[in-house]
Amino acid sequence: MSETVTGAGTGTDWRGWQDSWDRQQEWYMPDREERFRVMLDMVEACVGPAPRVLDLACGTGSITDRLLRRFPDAVSTGVDLDPALLAIAEGTFAGDERVTFVAADLKDPHWVQSLPYDSYDAVLTATALHWLHAEPLAALYGQVAGLVRDGGVFMNADHMIDPATPRINAAERAHRHAGMDRAKAGGALDWAQWWALAAADPALAGPTAKRYEIYGEHADGDMPAAGWHAETLRAAGFAEARPVWASPSDTLLLALK
Ligand SMILES: C[S@@+](CC[C@H](N)C(=O)[O-])C[C@H]1O[C@@H](n2cnc3c(N)ncnc32)[C@H](O)[C@@H]1O
């Protein structure tokens, strides 16, 4: 099922919402833009500059946005379950024939049937799969392996926590949160404040109410270590998998089919 923008959103500053989403996400991940840059470097390295991409759990379409700016001949399908973030995505890319958005639950065993293509050069995702527990995530990796063509790639940029390094993890977390507190004092918006603003916009109030019915504040999930992701992706059918970038808190994991 693909969403379309209708009258309620006409006149809404979708690009403004897109930018405001990016600022809110950067409050949590100051290295977010660098993650996207390396992700697209590895898209170019492995599948070239005109890929067919699946932006998995796309939110407002931040990956699709960077993809199309850098590779104008790319095409992208964005899939997500959040009606408010999808409304911003649809509004931002309205009229761009390279982009399709699909509303689907990645935990639904049949979600791939909603996609406009049955094969992709690259499936890309960021800051999203920690909303799933390990078992449904392993099942999703099996579906992703079926969608990536031979020689194609899957990349996941997310929080990946190594349970073998608890003191390093605690120090990193405390340091990161101190930086977030300073940014907050400088006016940065957090998740709850951003959603309160969305609920107050007439174009987003309805879809925002719906997203709270679907998720509550935020879905619960797991943040397994990078090694778990690599192993699970190999078991799902990828030939190779390893991190291609890491910050103290996050990893960009690449799997090649
Ligand atoms: C923090 S946002 C990240 C969005 C985007 N990838 C980005 O980097 O800006 C997490 C996204 O995962 C999506 N998501 C979480 N669980 C999902 C599910 N079961 N099915 C579809 N989308 C899901 C949420 O709706 C949300 O858009």
Report the separation in Å between the CA atom of 226 and the middle of ligand 1, taken as the mean of its atom positions: 19
Q: Is 62 in the pocket of ligand 1 (CB under 6 A)?
A: yes
Phi and psi at residue 154, in whole multiples of 5°?
Answer: -120, 135
Q: Is 44 in the pocket of ligand 1 (CB under 6 A)?
A: no
Rounded CA-CA distance 19/24 in Å is 9
Cβ 128 vs Cβ 158: under 8 Å: yes
Report the separation in Å between the CA atom of 129 and the middle of ligand 1, taken as the mean of its atom positions: 7
Residue 217: which of 201, 199, 229 has the closest Cα? 199
The structure's pTM equals 0.95
Cβ 16 vs Cβ 24: under 8 Å: no
CA atoms within 13 A on the CB side of 65: 20
CA atoms within 13 A on the CB side of 76: 31
Using 70 as the pLDDT threshold, list the residues of the chain that sit under it: 1-10
Report the separation in Å between the CA atom of 61 and the middle of ligand 1, taken as the mean of its atom positions: 10
Q: If you take atom 10 of ligand 1, which residue's CA is the nearest one?
A: 128
Q: Is 181 in the pocket of ligand 1 (CB under 6 A)?
A: no
Region at 58 (left for phi over 0; alpha for psi -120 to 50; beta for the rest): alpha
pLDDT given for residue 9 in this prediction: 52
pLDDT given for residue 7 in this prediction: 40
Report the separation in Å between the CA atom of 132 and the middle of ligand 1, taken as the mean of its atom positions: 10
Report the separation in Å between the CA atom of 39 and the middle of ligand 1, taken as the mean of its atom positions: 17
Instruction: Give the atom of ligand 1 at the shortest distance from the alpha carbon of 25.
Output: 9
Domains in the chain and their CATH numbers?
Answer: 2-256 (3.40.50.150)
